[in-house]
Amino acid sequence: MRKNKEIICFSKNKIIAALTVALSLASASALSAETGVMRFHGEVQDVACSISGMDGLNQTINMETASVKQLTNGGEGPKKEFKIALEACDIATHKLVNVAFRGQADANNKDAFSDQSGDTTHVGLILRDAGGKVINPTTGTATKDLVNGDQNMYFSANLIGTSTTNAPTAGRFDTSVNVELNYQ
């Protein structure tokens, strides 16, 4: 008789376990579910520094408003400062960085980037490095010695009048400048 009790107890345990699994599956299938796939893309480069997102190579710089009077006879509008943030630099293989700014030069002033919006005439953009040196749109670069860790490269931009004989015209100014960092 004892053997029958063990079989009945064993069978009851199996039934209880099976019911527990079945109820778990039933409650799980009763929940609403959505599935999907997330893809993450990135890039690994053999460079000396990482570039910060906010102060990286893809920025929009909103220039201060300049008056026609300020820009007349090659005058300059207000200076707008910006930076490129270099992070986690490791100088084991590269000791300096050259930053090249490339774009369309103005027809009247080859040191100025031209207005690509077509709204203004005789207005350009001058870029300068931290020391005030003008960065030419076709050949100019800025160089910085690297140090281990985080650091910034500082620059400034001004809207300028590009003609000493023709007055600038009012309008919206817009130009795109390509930026390239080369480590040495």
pLDDT digits (tens, 9 = 90+) for 54-106: 677 778 889 989 999 999 999 999 999 999 999 999 999 899 999 999 999 99
Asked if 149 and 157 touch (Cβ cutoff 8 Å), the reply is no
Residue 38's pLDDT band, with cuts at 50, 70 and 90, is low
pLDDT of residue 109: 95
Residue 175's pLDDT band, with cuts at 50, 70 and 90, is very high
Prediction pTM value: 0.74
Residue 43's pLDDT band, with cuts at 50, 70 and 90, is low
pLDDT of residue 39: 63
Residue 139 has pLDDT above 70, yes or no: yes
Q: Select, from the ranges 16-20, 28-32, 59-63, the one with the highest average predicted confidence (pLDDT).
A: 59-63
Residue 49's pLDDT band, with cuts at 50, 70 and 90, is confident
Q: Which tokens hold the place of 49? A: 């520094």
Give first-to-last CA distance, the chain, whole Å.
Answer: 89
Would you list the DSSP string of the chain?
-HHHHHHHHHHHHHHHHHHHHHHHHHHHHHS----------------S-EE-STTSSS----PPP--HHHHGGG-B---EEEEEEEEEE-TTT--EEEEEEE-PBPSS-TTSEEPSSSS-SSEEEEEEETT--EE-TTT-EEEEE--SEEEEEEEEEEEEE--SSS----S------EEEEEE-
User: Mind listing the domains of the chain with CATH numbers?
Assistant: 50-183 (2.60.40.1090)
pLDDT of residue 4: 47
